[in-house]
Chain A
């Protein structure tokens, strides 16, 4: 089986990871790696925790719905920026998709405990800034910003 995660760490503060759609076996691997990177950088626990939550939800969305996707992580002195771009069916009605409880997940996904309609809602809740754009039959792009203001005071 080809690996779902190709980690190309460009430099100290920019990272890129690929995610394969439909591969539930490796779901969560990218989020775990990102969490470990942020922890190693000594970021505050709350920042690491929120980053892991939003990243996991975005990762599960790619695995559940898209053909493939990329997660770009950028760490600056002020914020964590997580950009998630997928090639997939896109979202026809973003407002509806953002509603808690709304999901288009199939039965198989729901049986695993995913598809509860909490993904985008949680991403929005735990990010300091969340932008989403989507084109039907092309894909969806997310950008999440989590501020690390506590860190900047110390450094």
Chain B
């Protein structure tokens, strides 16, 4: 399933890299501890987080995540968004808390298998 479909199904706001909505999502990882995300997330994951500073873009680039979804309607910091546009990393915003969003994405991915 591509990240654009997830965005549409869950009514997410797309802030950057709208031309990357065909990025294939093969799984997901939810976390705010960067070492944990670094060690345990995988390429193709959608990363669900509450962190908004620009190092999230570096991690998503390094781990080749399909995109980042910020929870609880959190806006990225200005330099985070600039970096995401520059690196062409999709950042999306969701009004749900991490638990609910994770559950919904898990269900979408499971149903698509």
Contacts and interface: CB of A to CB of B under 8 A. Distances in A.
Interface of A: 24-25, 27-29, 31-32, 35, 49, 52-53, 56-57, 60, 112-114, 116, 118-119, 122, 125-126
A29 B57 CA distance: 11
A29 B39 CA distance: 17
Interface in B10-54: 32-36, 38-39, 43, 51, 53-54
30 contacts: A24-B54, A25-B79, A27-B58, A28-B58, A28-B59, A28-B61, A28-B62, A29-B58, A31-B62, A35-B62, A52-B62, A53-B38, A56-B38, A56-B59, A56-B62, A57-B35, A60-B34, A60-B35, A112-B53, A112-B55, A113-B33, A113-B55, A114-B34, A114-B55, A116-B33, A116-B34, A118-B36, A119-B35, A122-B35, A126-B39
Nearest to B54: A25
A49 B39 CA distance: 9
Interface residues of B, number: 18
Interface of B: 32-36, 38-39, 43, 51, 53-55, 58-59, 61-63, 79
A142 to B, nearest CB: 15
Contacts, number: 56
A28 B55 CA distance: 8
A116 B79 contact: no
A116 B62 contact: no
Contacts of B43: 49
Contact of B38 (A24, A25, A29, A57): A57
